Amino acid sequence: MARRAKVVIIGAGIGGLAATAALLRHGFEVEVHERAPHLGEVGAGLQLGPNAVKVLRGLGLEERMRQAACEPVNWVSLKWDDASLRFREKLLGEREAEFGAPYLTAHRADLHAALHSLVPERIVRLGARCIGVESRAGSAVARFADGSEAEGDIVVGADGIRSVVREALFGPDAPRFTGQICWRAMVPIEAVPTQVGPGGSVQVKRSEYVGWLGPTGHVICYPIRSGRLYNIFAGRVAHGWAEEGWSVPSTVEDMLNAYAGWNEAMLGMFRVASEVFKWGIHDREPLPSWTRGRVTLLGDAAHPMMPTLAQGAAISMEDGYALARNLARHDDADAGLAAYDRERAPRAGRVQLQARTQFENNRKVPPPPPTDRGWIFAYDATTDMAA
């Protein structure tokens, strides 16, 4: 573009900040409007597959996150009741050799802080609750609860699963409860049981990624914060969910009751947790297109997905980088948005649906091998070849 477009971003989560950082690198003018009174992420772990690390590399953040995160040595799958070994697969170095980047496990707040470090404070407006958007001839405008407006060449809705921007574009559509509720907690790495299985026959390293798999749920554990903490994600099949939001305070007792009868070594680790949250997992049907006029979506606003492939943050980061790349390589904003839509909507939709399939497979007895994620990891959103 002869004149770089002005882009208004609604939402300063991981996807919104990734988009902002990438757009700034390409010379775009950016404004970010966030409804929260301050920036930050709640304490939880996340997984960064090779496709996510490639985005970090493109933003100049790979080394920072390698230092803050962990690269698990192995992927270990244990049976839910007796902790017998289902399989052990090497991770350290393997994903990088095959897909060009490592598989990292990290604290969500560390990733958010790294992305935030690339965004000048002067372009971020906090306490700005978007109530609507409108596409005009050659521009778009976002309206806020305080009566103010923000106009740009493009408005991007990065405002989460209950996106106001999405509703303005496509009408009201309630998220689908997936039949899964989850608890999350963190414990000191010293709390990780290292001898499990029948008679203590299975040795577990604290540097491994460990999954406990049963017909009514799965528990995923991995080291974060350079190996000082152990993140626990405990997913459970459920018939209903009464709470809104995804970080509802819970208790250790609540989590223990949900996993009554599971392996005692795992439950003993649960008992060490000092803070527990739970949430209901929701997603939506894939959208064939994310764009109307000069307004588009990214992240959970476009493609909320189940966590069973651990790709929510990664695909959102891909969105942000791909948005900037497509806008930069086209002569006008409309062509750039169209290219972004063509590239991203099919890929994200496929990941959404595969995440559902993986959830259903996890419930089968015996569960089949994990669905293939190679096609996800091989992707590089920083290159034009991705388009």
Contact residues for 262 (Cβ-Cβ < 8 A; gap 6+): 80, 81, 212, 214, 219
Task: Choose the catalytic residue: 222, 259, 340, 379.
Answer: 222
The first and second tokens of residue 334, run together, are 């409309």
> Scanning the structure block, which residue is given the tokens 């999350």?
184
Nearest residue to 275 (alpha-carbon basis) of 296, 258, 294, 254: 254
Reduced to 3 states (helix: H, G, I; strand: E, B; else coil), residue 344 is helix
Crossing angle of helices 14-25 and 312-328, rounded to 10°: 30
Contact 18, 119 (CB under 8 A): no
Distance CA 324, CA 19 (A): 7
Distance CA 229, CA 188 (A): 5
Residue 222 catalytic? Answer: yes
Distance CA 165, CA 169 (A): 6
Distance CA 382, CA 59 (A): 9
**Residue 47 corresponds to which amino acid?**
Q
What residues are annotated to the active site?
222
